[in-house]
Amino acid sequence: MKTVDNYNFSGKRALIRVDFNVPLNEKFEITDDNRLKAAMPTIKKILADGGSVVLMSHLGRPKQGPEDKFSLRHVVPYLTEKLKIDVQFAGDCIGEEAAEKSAALKPGDVLVLENLRFYKEETKGDVDFARKLSVHGDVWVNDAFGTAHRAHASTAVIARFFEDKVCGYVIEAELVNAEKVLKSGERPLTAIMGGAKISDKILIIENLMDKVDNLIIGGGMAFTFFRAQGGNIGKSLCQEENLDLALKLMEKAKAKGVNLLMPADTLAADSFDNNAQTEVADTMNIRDDYQGLDIGPKSIESFREVIVKSKTILWNGPMGVFEFENFAGGTNAIAAAVVEATKEGAFSLIGGGDSAAAVNILGYGDQVSYISTGGGALLEYMEGKVLPGVAALEE
């Protein structure tokens, strides 16, 4: 696989698939620029080599063609400011006007194409659409890890139209850091799995069983395990269809000598509301009209003890309903424990999505080893699946 560092972009037009799917407020201002910041080193290396750059991405989930709220023109001022050049914009990603603009680029120029998903052909992996996109570059660079698990036109199919295919710094870093957990992680290795549904994490939990020393399970999905063991979980989230699976996972952990930790107590509430009445309850004995919305103090302490002694940590998914301030305590405490372990020399990989958001909101972003930019893509890679966007670079 060619990487940005072992390719000379001098005199080349680099067509880069970036992940600029960033949140915008009602004034179309960027509220979280992490994905934009992540793409900067790849762009700057190409420009420093004497190449020009064409950027393509999706933004949001447009349903019926072009909509201004999903236009990538909203990221152009940010790029102009950060790159200190006048970044150009094409009002379409294919067609004559876009092709003319990309053909006229000189070394040092940057052009942003309009949202790829204004065309349904993008997500369908349409070959002709990929061919039309390919006219914008001499070399294709994939640096969008967040969509690497999708076989879309711009993320995988387009590779067949290029001799030179290059892996950007974002994807390279994601793969290197994932491998640190999967293949070369120092012991003890601890995986922390949270989130709402056990069904979303089955495959990763099964794959990690062969690799981890400790597996911590929190969040809503823990209640399926308690219900499976005959516990009274009140109105807590539960996937009844996965009760047998939960018991099998527990048996598998025991057979493989994995230390499986689940919450001993929960912060239970009488409604799904930040201002609900609360009480700390035993996770196996929650009142019928209450539901567990966060891990309790005993759980926080037992999880923390294991985390701070770990040398390699993977965290994916919150411990509770952390978007409610009163039920964010467990997630915040786990984040603090991961930071503490990292300061003591542990390697910590934070899976994208809610875990990444929690770490960044708390201001811990620069105090962990690596924060993934792709939640779904990282999960699939950790499950052992081939990512189409990565495979396309290896062909």
Q: What would the pLDDT profile of 203-215 be if each residue is shown by its tens digit?
A: 889 889 989 999 9
- Residue 58 scores a pLDDT above 80: yes
Contact of 191 with 178, CB cutoff 8 Å: no
Return mean pLDDT, the chain.
94
Q: Write the pLDDT tens digit of every residue in 80-128.
A: 999 999 999 999 999 999 999 999 999 999 999 999 999 999 999 999 9
Q: What is the structure's pLDDT at 250? A: 95
d(CA 158, CA 358): 35
Residue 192 confidence class, pLDDT cut points 50, 70, 90: very high
Q: Which of 195, 220, 329, 353 is catalytic?
A: 353
Selected catalytic residue, list 91, 108, 231, 376: 376
Q: Of all helices (H) and strands (E), which one includes residue 39?
A: helix 34-49
Query: Rounded to 5 degrees, what angle do the CA atoms 296, 221, 286 make?
Result: 50
Is residue 207 within 8 Å of residue 383, measured between CB atoms? yes
What pLDDT digit, counting tens, does each position of 280-319 carry? 999 999 999 999 999 999 999 999 999 999 999 999 999 9
pLDDT class for 184, splitting at 50, 70, 90?
A: confident
Cα separation of 369 and 332, whole Å?
17
Please write the tens of the pLDDT for every residue from 339-386.
999 999 999 999 867 788 888 888 898 999 999 988 788 888 988 899
35 is catalytic: yes
Tokens of 355: 């875990």
pLDDT at 272 over 90: yes
The mean per-residue pLDDT over the stretch 263-288 comes to: 97
Nearest-10 crossing angle of helices 169-182, 375-382: 40
Out of 2, 44, 160, 197, which one is annotated catalytic? 197
- Residue 197: active-site member: yes
pLDDT at 237 over 80: yes
Query: Known catalytic residue: 330?
Result: no
**CA dist., res. 166 & res. 5, Å (int):** 10
Region of residue 183 (phi > 0: left; psi between -120 and 50: alpha; otherwise: beta): alpha
Amino acid 234: pLDDT: 95
353 belongs to the catalytic site = yes
The shares of helix, strand and coil residues in the chain, as percent rounded to the nearest 5, are 45, 15, 40
Can you give the pLDDT at residue 384?
Answer: 87
Cα gap 315→331, rounded to integer Å: 11
Distance CA 74, CA 251 (A): 51
pLDDT category at 159 given cuts 50, 70, 90 is very high
β-pairing verdict for 265-269 and 278-282: antiparallel
Q: Which of 12, 13, 17, 35 is catalytic?
A: 35
Cα–Cα distance, 107 to 110 (Å, whole number):
9
Q: Kindly indicate the confidence band of residue 172, based on its pLDDT and cuts at 50, 70 and 90.
A: very high
Q: For 61-70, how does the pLDDT look when each residue is reduced to its tens digit (9 = 90+)?
A: 998 889 999 9
DSSP H helices, 209-353, are: 222-228, 243-255, 297-308, 329-343
Q: Are 183 and 304 in contact (CB under 8 A)?
A: no
The pTM score is: 0.87
Q: What is the mean pLDDT of residues 171-192?
A: 93
Residue 224 pLDDT greater than 80, yes or no:
yes
Residue 136: its pLDDT value, please? 98
